[in-house]
């Protein structure tokens, strides 16, 4: 019973040094015939050539006279068995190439199976954890105790800060943080922002400025700016910093003496003074 060799790949490895060493005595025509016979053996399903010399001559593509001169030289590279004629060296190369191919295929298959097993195990553990978390016993004393314990645990967990809150510098959850955005196109200076800007300069010991002019500069600058730096997470804080850095057209303020503290109301803008006056009137009318 003949044994069928594994299917060969479409490429054939040729070791040039070994080939030239073994075939240095061949003529050009004999080289061509030898290579054609090797190619036929490599692509054969059985891995063997026919034994019939006429079939071999047709594979070598030689006329009878050329074949009569070539085969006595070429037959030294081949052996015959019950399955057919073959080159022992090429048969070994083919077996080695097929072994490597099978090895790499099995390695890739095992790696893929491992990834799928890990994925299925992870999904199974997630489903088990979800089902266990959603199950709450009821209907008996032990069930009520378990329910109360679960409620107590949930209450304790609710009072603990989340890991993201502990990791963040300001203790604020990353989900609640504002996303950076550009200054709105319809931005205008409101009374609230004007008060914030005036207080920022007052706390920094800086003189009052024309906030309407600074607001125009602020709007034009940030609307014209491009790139990632043009987006801010807190535009009010950016406005306060802008007001602190704004240059005043008047003389710098004198340092107040320790015996005569400055009148803070005199330094505030008209908007802030109106708000303080309104607050004072409300305090006077309160019984």
Q: How many domains does the chain have?
A: 2
- 120 with 205, same domain: the answer is no
- Are both 129 and 15 inside the same structural domain? yes
Q: Which of 78, 113, 139 finishes a domain?
A: 139
The Cα diameter of the chain in Å comes to 133
**Tokens of residue 78, six digits:** 């081949």
Query: Where is 91: in which H helix or E strand?
Result: helix 88-134
Residue 142 above 90 pLDDT?
Answer: no
SS3 at position 158: helix
Instruction: Indicate the Cα dihedral angle 148, 150, 155, 161, nearest 10°.
Output: 170
Does 144 reside within a domain? no
- Between CA 194 and CA 272 the distance in angstroms is 8
Whether 3 is covered by a domain: the verdict is: yes
Chain-centroid distance, C-alpha 230: 26
Which residues is 181 bridged to in the sheet?
Answer: 232
| 6 shares a domain with 135 | yes
User: Which residues form the domain of 228?
Assistant: 191-250+264-281
Tens of pLDDT, residues 203-262? 988 998 889 999 999 999 999 999 989 999 999 999 999 999 998 765 555 554 444 444
> What is the pLDDT, as a whole number, of residue 86?
93
pLDDT digits (tens, 9 = 90+) for 90-139: 988 888 888 888 888 888 988 888 888 888 888 877 776 666 655 444 44
Residues 3 and 81 in one domain: yes
DSSP 8-state secondary structure symbol assigned to residue 180: P
> What's this model's pTM, rounded to 2 decimal places?
0.37
Share of the chain above pLDDT 90, in %: 36
Residues constituting the chain: 287
| Backbone dihedral region for residue 269 (phi beyond 0: left; psi -120 to 50: alpha; all else: beta) | beta
Q: What is the DSSP letter of 232?
A: B
Any domain includes 286: no
Are 105 and 21 found together in one domain? yes
Q: Is the pLDDT of residue 50 over 90?
A: yes
User: Is residue 88 domain-shared with residue 9, that is, in the same domain?
Assistant: yes
Q: Would residue 181 count as lying in a domain?
A: no
Distance of CA 191 to CAs 60, 106, 212, 220, 275, Å?
99, 74, 11, 19, 10
CB atoms within 10 A of CB 190: 11
At residue 66 the predicted structure's pLDDT band, cuts being 50, 70 and 90, is: very high
Q: Is 159 helix (H, G, I), strand (E, B) or coil?
A: helix
């Amino acid at each position: 019973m003949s044994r069928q060799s594994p299917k060969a790949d479409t490429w054939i490895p040729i070791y040039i040094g070994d080939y030239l060493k073994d075939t240095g005595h061949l003529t050009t025509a004999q080289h061509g015939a030898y290579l054609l016979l090797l190619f036929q053996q490599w692509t054969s399903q059985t891995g063997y050539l026919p034994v019939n010399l006429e079939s071999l001559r047709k594979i070598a593509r030689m006329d009878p006279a050329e074949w009569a001169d070539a085969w006595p030289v070429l037959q030294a590279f081949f052996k015959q068995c019950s399955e057919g004629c073959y080159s022992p060296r090429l048969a070994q190369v083919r077996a080695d190439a097929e072994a490597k191919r099978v090895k790499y295929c099995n390695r890739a298959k095992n790696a893929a199976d491992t990834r799928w097993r890990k994925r299925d195990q992870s999904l199974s553990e997630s489903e088990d954890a979800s089902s266990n978390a959603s199950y709450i016993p009821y209907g008996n004393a032990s069930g009520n105790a378990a329910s109360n314990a679960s409620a107590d645990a949930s209450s304790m967990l609710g009072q603990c800060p989340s890991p993201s809150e502990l990791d963040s510098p300001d203790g604020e959850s990353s989900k609640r943080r504002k996303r950076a955005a550009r200054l709105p196109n319809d931005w205008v200076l409101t009374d609230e922002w004007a008060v914030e800007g005036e207080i920022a300069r007052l706390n920094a010991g800086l003189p009052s400025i024309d906030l309407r002019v600074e607001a125009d500069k602020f709007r034009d600058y940030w609307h014209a700016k491009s790139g990632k730096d043009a987006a801010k997470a807190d535009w009010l804080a950016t406005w306060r910093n802008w007001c602190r850095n704004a240059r005043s057209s008047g003389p710098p303020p004198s340092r107040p003496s320790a015996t005569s503290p400055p009148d803070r109301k005199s330094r505030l803008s008209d908007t802030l003074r109106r708000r303080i006056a309104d607050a004072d009137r409300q305090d006077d009318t309160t019984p």
